[in-house]
Amino acid sequence: MWPLLEQSLQRHRELEQLLADPAVLADRTRYATLAREHGALSKQVRPYLEFKAVSEAITQAEHILRSESDPEMQALAQEELLSLRQLRDQLQARLEDFLLVDPGENFDSVILEIR
C-alpha cells in the first residue's frame, strides 16, 4: 500500500541484523550511527506493523461476518469490525503524518522566539 513505509520496514530489518553483527559492535562510531537510524525508523515501523496487523484482523472479521450464520457471531464480528476500522483510521492518519516528516529530523528540542 505504501512503498516508502515498506522500504523503511526493510531497512529497519537490515539495521537489526547489522546491529547484531559482532563486527559492527566492535566499531562504536558505526554502531552509534546505525543505532540512531534504527531508532528513527522504529518510530515509523511500529505503527506501520500495527496498521498491517489491524488490516489483517479487519479482513478476518469481514470473512467471519460473511460466512457466519449465527446472529450473535455476526453481531460480535460487526462490533469488532467497527472498532478495528476506527483504530485503522487513527493509525493511517499517524502514518500519513510520518510520511510528511523526514525520519531523521529531530524536533525534540526547538527554540521558539516570540516577540
Q: Please report whether residue 19 resides in a domain.
A: yes
Total number of domains in the chain: 1
Structural domain containing residue 42: 3-96
Q: Please report whether residue 36 resides in a domain.
A: yes
pLDDT tens-place values along the chain, 115 residues long: 688 889 999 999 999 999 999 998 899 999 999 999 999 889 889 999 999 999 999 999 899 888 888 888 888 889 999 999 999 999 999 888 878 876 556 656 667 778 7
Q: Please report whether residue 102 resides in a domain.
A: no
Q: What is the sign, positive or negative, of the torsion defined by CA atoms of 30, 32, 37, 38?
A: positive
Q: Please report whether residue 111 resides in a domain.
A: no
Q: Please report whether residue 31 resides in a domain.
A: yes
Q: Are 84 and 63 in contact (CB under 8 A)?
A: no
The CA distance from 62 to 77, in Å, is 7
| Helical spans, DSSP H, in the chain | 3-19, 22-26, 28-67, 71-100
The CA distance from 108 to 110, in Å, is 6
Q: Please report whether residue 110 resides in a domain.
A: no
Q: Please report whether residue 79 resides in a domain.
A: yes
